[in-house]
Amino acid sequence: MSRSHHFHIKQSLDFFSSFLRHSTETKNLTPIKKLHAHLIRTHFQFFSPSLHTKLILSYSRANPNFGAQSLSSLFKFIIPRSSLTFNIIIADFCRNGSADFALMAFSFMHSNGVPIDSYALCSTLSACSLVQNVMFGKQMHAFVGKSGWLSSVFVGSAIVDLYAKNGLIGDAVEVFDEIPMKNTVCANALLAGYGEAKMWVEGLELLRKMYVLDLKYDHFTLSASLRTCACLSAIALGKQVHAYLLRMIYDIPSDVHLQSTLIEMYGKSGMVEKAWNVFNFAGLEQKEDGKRDIIVWTSILSVYGRNGCYKRVIELYSQMLMEGIKPDRVAFVTVISACGHTGEVDLGIKYFDSMQSDFGLQPGQEHYSCLVDLLCRAGELDKAWKLVNDMKSQHCNVSLWGALLRACLEHGKIELGNLAAQKALELDPQNTGIFVMLSNLYAIFGLWNEIEHLREFVSKEGMCKDVGCSWIEITS
């Protein structure tokens, strides 16, 4: 094929891709069908599997009746039916948020005798993770075992990742142990699963096992280990990990997630000054525009907020705005909460209003919770009641009514407290925390009969309050 002919094909493919994108956005099915007919006549669709994928995606988004049968019909026209062609199609489906189509493509491969390789298996297992289709994933696991692909560390890692992301930690561990030649990727997949399941001790054991297996610690491993240390209050081990990454990772300032995890690890252990030092270190090598990343900023704001330094949170938030950083939702939660603890009611309301007016962010449940808490701490219970009562249902949750009930307990408002408890229990009838606060409110007014009724009801329903616990590190 001559260079000019190749260039002509590339230009045509680019035009077709752009045309399909425009037709999809307008949801106009007729031009998509006309282009499809043209591609069949000119054989252009056979030059690029990606173009075939875009054609399928365009049909699916423009046609509300597009389903498995339509998809199968389009697959039948794919020539050649090779592993490479379908691998590209499956990967494109995953990349474009159509994981269900990726599973259908794999099923078509399997039922029509298209050779299946490790690339197809890994991409399809990733699609299973995206749509949380555990049943399909288990069927694939059985297929992998029968076809002998379980010895592949890449396929094994994908299965571990599938089970870990769906909370099936026992299955993930079993597959991990069966992989003959493990690597850092499969260990990280299991480590992420332990983190999501809050199995911190098991995560720590896996980190030690990685060292025995001579597996290298990458950025993800170190971030996960720091998170584990923070949740176990294992500050001594956290310092060792910090020292290790200072020796072994040369580009720490470029990894904002690693910096953020470091800051949070020291912050959760009450070592605010250490967290501040890491934050300052992050500023030594800022981005090209001279700004720290928003992730690092929200981490340091959370550290000061968690450790009761609320005025410092407000100061740092102002400094962040002066540096030209656009705050995210997490930053607003922290700073509005800080305003509540410092009595800065007007400032907190101003920050809440600025979310939408200045930064185009729609307030969520957590922001309304902070605003209600702000008003309650200031004794503005009537305003808080009106705000919660007038709120849209998607923003109203138990924590909002719980904050109002807690304020009623502090200010001795029995009527409003009863109403708040009633609303909270309508949303979550098994919430023992609400019953405890309501009982305490009754106790203030000496309503012992009502307390006895509450206890009988809680006992009858078999509810019990979770026992609190704290982690401490014992040093010799």
pLDDT value, residue 6: 42
Read off the pLDDT of residues 418-451 as tens digits, 9 standing for 90 and up.
888 888 888 888 888 888 888 888 888 888 888 8
Residue 446, in any domain of the structure? yes
Element (H, E) at 127: helix 118-131
> Which span out of 4-18, 126-140, 394-408 was modeled with the highest average pLDDT?
126-140
Task: Tally the domains of the chain.
Answer: 1
Residue 397, in any domain of the structure? yes
> Which span out of 53-62, 310-319, 415-424 was modeled with the highest average pLDDT?
310-319
pLDDT value, residue 163: 93
pLDDT value, residue 282: 66
How far is 14 from 472, CA to CA, in rounded Å?
Answer: 60
How far is 317 from 436, CA to CA, in rounded Å?
Answer: 36
Helices and strands counted in the chain (H then E): 26, 0
What pLDDT band is residue 284 in, cutting at 50, 70 and 90?
low
Tell me which of 201 and 75 has the higher pLDDT. 201
How far is 216 from 214, CA to CA, in rounded Å?
Answer: 6
Q: Quick one: average pLDDT of 62-75? A: 69
Residue 432, in any domain of the structure? yes
Instruction: State both tokens at 172.
Output: 């993930």
How far is 257 from 403, CA to CA, in rounded Å?
Answer: 32
Residue 470, in any domain of the structure? no
Instruction: State both tokens at 366.
Output: 């957590």
Residue 449, in any domain of the structure? yes
Element (H, E) at 201: helix 200-212
Q: Quick one: average pLDDT of 316-325? A: 91
> Any idea which of 130-139, 164-173, 210-219, 423-432 has the lowest mean pLDDT?
423-432
Residue 400, in any domain of the structure? yes
321-325 LR contacts (CB < 8 Å, sep 24+):
323/291, 323/292, 324/289, 324/291, 325/291, 325/292, 325/294, 325/297
pLDDT value, residue 7: 37
CATH number for the domain spanning 380: value is: 1.25.40.10
Instruction: State both tokens at 198.
Output: 């809050």
pLDDT value, residue 9: 47
- Residue 344 has a CB neighbour count (10 Å cut-off) of 20
Torsion from C-alpha of 277, 278, 283, 288, nearest 10 degrees: 170
What pLDDT band is residue 466 in, cutting at 50, 70 and 90?
low
Read off the pLDDT of residues 163-178 as tens digits, 9 standing for 90 and up.
999 989 999 999 999 9
How far is 172 from 188, CA to CA, in rounded Å?
Answer: 12
The answer, yes or no, to whether residue 61 has pLDDT greater than 80, is no
Tell me which of 171 and 455 has the higher pLDDT. 171
Q: How many residues does the chain have?
A: 476
Helices 49-62, 68-75: axis angle to 10 degrees equals 160
Residue 295, in any domain of the structure? no
Read off the pLDDT of residues 233-283 as tens digits, 9 standing for 90 and up.
888 888 998 988 888 877 777 788 888 999 999 998 889 999 999 888 765
How far is 250 from 112, CA to CA, in rounded Å?
Answer: 50
Contact status, residue 195 vs residue 209, Cβ threshold 8 Å: no
Average pLDDT over the chain, rounded to an integer? 83
pLDDT value, residue 185: 92
Share of the chain above pLDDT 90, in %: 26
Instruction: State both tokens at 398.
Output: 């138990």
Instruction: State both tokens at 123.
Output: 């991409």
pLDDT value, residue 8: 44
What is the residue range of 371's domain? 364-463
Q: Quick one: average pLDDT of 141-161? A: 90
Q: Quick one: average pLDDT of 209-223? A: 90
**CB burial class (10 A; 0-12, 13-18, 19+) of residue 119?**
middle
> Which span out of 40-49, 120-129, 364-373, 394-403 was modeled with the highest average pLDDT?
120-129
